[in-house]
Amino acid sequence: MNILFLTTHLNHGGITSYLISLSSGLNKKGHNCFIASSGGQAEEKFRACGITLINIPINTKCEVSPKILISFLKLKKELRTQKIDIIHANTRVTQVLGAIFSRFCNYPYISTCHGFFKKRFFRMVFPAWGDRVIAISKQVADNLERDFKIDKEMISIIHNGIDYQRFSSNSFEDKKNIKKSFNLSQDGPVVGMIARLSDVKGHTFFIQAMPQILNAYPKSCFVIAGEGRLKEKLKNEVNKLSLSKSVFFLPSQPDTSQLLSVMDCVVTPSIEEGLGLSIIEAQAVGVPVVAFSIGGIPSLIEHNKTGLLVGYKDVNALAQAVIKILSDEGLRRNIINQARENIKQKFSQDLMVDETLKAYMQVLNKK
């Protein structure tokens, strides 16, 4: 099968990680994968997996941008040349592009919803969901049914999956050297977040929880890894709380496993989250996760079993949960073991690939 993925860019982030895992898994099963985007930091990673990249000027968030039409015209010949069987879009803008190909060129088209959509005017008058919609969690599927009236039979719930063996490897180099490579302190626990620096990821709540954690563990080291427009704002918040000596801002990581391997706890205080790929990766590496109980996160974390859940925006509970993880070795060990087994059984790359292929066949058989 020849599959064309559409996405806005290939910079580090959740959708890019999803596409690497899915396209490389499909490639291993003998399918040909193409990705059309405006490019980005992860291009070489895709090429190394045998994925063909096509550059289009789709770097826009505007659903009526002329860049969509230009991208359509540029891709039209490419799709015929490569004998594409199905198109798979991954962002709202590329959903519009995929819908245009479906409507005017009769290509089978599917989309993945990686989070929650708001009921904006253009989404209501031009839905562009495709012949089938993949929702990355039950909560995302519920949003599509409730707010956009998508027929339940059109939705496939397929969780993100990762290459479990790569993340669960015990062959990480000496952790002291990894800490040194990131300029992290060698003393005390490491508590971190790996997420784009965006309001919905809740970095402010993590920063507000830090003083309590430091009070219990004065040598704690806090890591905030990611890029985004909030960087200066978050640095100012850190400075106002006199935390600058304890907080390390790191760039987006092309491979999160090394950084995760030196963390003692991962914090996910998102205020909106479709599922949480960073949680899956942390659990596979063997790092306990503390998170707000919102969105699709309860699909990954069962409280006191595969992680700790706290109330929405409850900074005090967030801090106390981190302290509990750091202080209770028995609980910590149980969470690590149960979370790893859960990821292995329910969130593997192979399972995601097989379920996605089923979704493709449902569309192709109808066509």
Work out the average pLDDT over 9-30.
Answer: 96
Concatenate the DSSP letters of all residues of 290-306 into one string: EEES-TTGGGT--BTTT
Work out the average pLDDT over 270-280.
Answer: 95
Distance CA 150, CA 152 (A): 6
- Superfamily grouping for domain 2-161+348-366: Glycogen Phosphorylase B; (3.40.50.2000)
Distance CA 72, CA 56 (A): 9
How do residues 150-201 score in pLDDT, each as one tens digit? 999 999 999 999 998 888 765 556 788 888 888 888 889 999 999 999 999 9
Instruction: Confirm whether 2-161+348-366 and 164-346 share one CATH topology.
Output: yes
pLDDT at 93: 97
pLDDT at 167: 83
pLDDT at 169: 62
Q: Phi and psi for 264 in degrees, rounded to 5?
A: -95, -20
Assigned token pair, 240: 């106002």
For 222-283, give the secondary structure using H, E and C.
EEEECCCCCHHHHHHHHHHCCCCCCEEEECCCCCCHHHHCCCCEEEECCCCCCCCHHHHHHH
pLDDT at 177: 86
Distance CA 65, CA 93 (A): 9
How do residues 204-216 score in pLDDT, each as one tens digit? 999 999 999 999 9
Work out the average pLDDT over 38-46.
Answer: 96
**Any idea where the domains of the chain sit in the sequence?**
2-161+348-366, 164-346
Q: Percent of the chain at pLDDT above 70? A: 98
- Compute the mean pLDDT over every residue in the chain, rounded to the nearest whole number: 95
Enumerate the β-bridge partners of residue 162: 348
Total Cβ atoms within 10 A of residue 42? 21
Total Cβ atoms within 10 A of residue 208? 18
pLDDT at 170: 54
Whole-structure pTM over 0.85, yes or no?
A: yes
pLDDT at 360: 98
With a cut of 80, say whether residue 146 has pLDDT above it.
Answer: yes
Neighbour order of strands in the sheet with 155-157? 52-55, 32-37, 2-6, 86-89, 109-113, 132-135, 155-157
Question: If you classify domain 164-346 with CATH, what class do you get?
Answer: alpha beta
pLDDT at 191: 98
Please state, in angstroms and as integers, the Cα–Cα distance from residue 251 to each residue in 49, 180, 191, 259, following that order.
24, 16, 16, 11
pLDDT at 47: 97
